[in-house]
Amino acid sequence: MQVLAFNGSPRKEWNTATLLKKALEGAESQASETELIHLYDLDYKGCHSCYSCKLKGGKSFGKCAVIDGLTPVLGKVIEADALIIGFPIYMGAVAGMAQSFLERLVYPLWDSENMGTLLKKRIPTGLICTMGAPVSRMKEMGLDGRVRTVEMMTGMAFGAVESIIVTDTYQYDDYSKYAHQPFVNPEEKAERHRTVFPQECEKAFEMGARLAASASEA
Ligand SMILES: Cc1cc2nc3c(=O)[nH]c(=O)nc-3n(C[C@H](O)[C@H](O)[C@H](O)COP(=O)(O)O)c2cc1C
């Protein structure tokens, strides 16, 4: 069984990547082979709006026709048994590289005429979203709604999706060196990172294990 994870953060050792690695450890606990792909290592753009993936009878129907650094990865996804996609929130939205990845991955798979999927198999998918905002601000800004939208769209393509939202993340190695909003309390952030973040990692581990187990039943 192959479980693929995608890191939509440019940082390879921070919140999103750490959670993804934990999720993959969970998948490995269910005897899966795993791979973590850092999207920032790939040279690609978002959807070109060519609509080749929707052209009836066209050779790219149901597939992204754009050829670039993402193309081999999109091929691997279709072979995978489960997926885990991690992304931070940037500027109140899914961070750009992850959004571009989702456009190229998910949109071609929609069966637009039947409001379903063109995929012949179900690929259990997990989403991990991280953000600096605490829960209260996430709700004020409707950021959880962004994640629900990705969940709905990804679920339509892959058949099964679940998500973890990790709020109030620790952003800098030393808050005294960086400009930050006045309502951010570095001590509280550090404490949360020390006590709550490990619990979020545990949830990620459990999600990875669940996805792998559900993939093996499919
Ligand atoms: C360019 C940029 C924009 C950001 N915008 C937001 C935002 O709108 N809302 C928010 O809650 N956090 C925002 N953040 C914080 C990140 O979402 C947060 O630190 C996230 O956990 C980063 O993931 P990483 O540690 O894996 O890189 C932003 C960070 C960057 C670099």
Q: Is 147 in the pocket of ligand 1 (CB under 6 A)?
A: no
Provide mean pLDDT across the span 149-174: 96
pTM of the model: 0.97
Q: List Cβ neighbours of 167 (8 Å cut-off, separation of 6 or more).
A: 131, 133, 134, 135, 138
Q: What is the pLDDT of residues 95-135, one digit of tens each?
A: 999 999 999 999 999 999 998 999 999 999 999 999 999 99
**What is the reported pLDDT for 216?**
77
Q: What is the pLDDT of residues 3-60, one digit of tens each?
A: 999 999 999 999 999 999 999 999 999 999 999 999 999 999 999 999 999 999 999 9
How far from the centroid of its chain's Cα atoms is residue 7's Cα? 7
Tell whether the model's pLDDT for residue 169 goes beyond 80. Answer: yes
Tell whether the model's pLDDT for residue 218 goes beyond 90. Answer: no
DSSP string for 91-157: TTEE-HHHHHHHHHHHGGGEETTTTEE--SS---EEEEEE-SS-HHHHHHHTHHHHHHHHHHHHHHH
Q: Whose CA is nearest to atom 15 of ligand 1?
A: 132
- Taking Cα atoms as reference points, which of 15, 209, 2, 27 lies closest to residue 131? 15
Give the CATH number of the domain where residue 190 resides.
3.40.50.360
Q: What is the pLDDT of residues 50-96, one digit of tens each?
A: 999 999 999 999 999 999 999 999 999 999 999 999 999 999 999 99
- Taking Cα atoms as reference points, which of 4, 162, 163, 160 lies closest to residue 82? 4
What is the span of the domain harbouring residue 176? 2-217
Tell whether the model's pLDDT for residue 201 goes beyond 70. Answer: yes
Number of folded domains that form the chain? 1
Of 171, 173, 181, best ligand 1 pocket probe by most atoms within 8 Å of the beta carbon: 171
Cβ–Cβ < 8 Å for 52, 60: yes
Q: Is 124 in the pocket of ligand 1 (CB under 6 A)?
A: no
Q: Whose CA is nearest to atom 4 of ligand 1?
A: 90
Provide mean pLDDT across the span 160-175: 96
**What is the reported pLDDT for 181?**
87
Q: Whose CA is nearest to atom 25 of ligand 1?
A: 15
**What is the reported pLDDT for 146?**
96
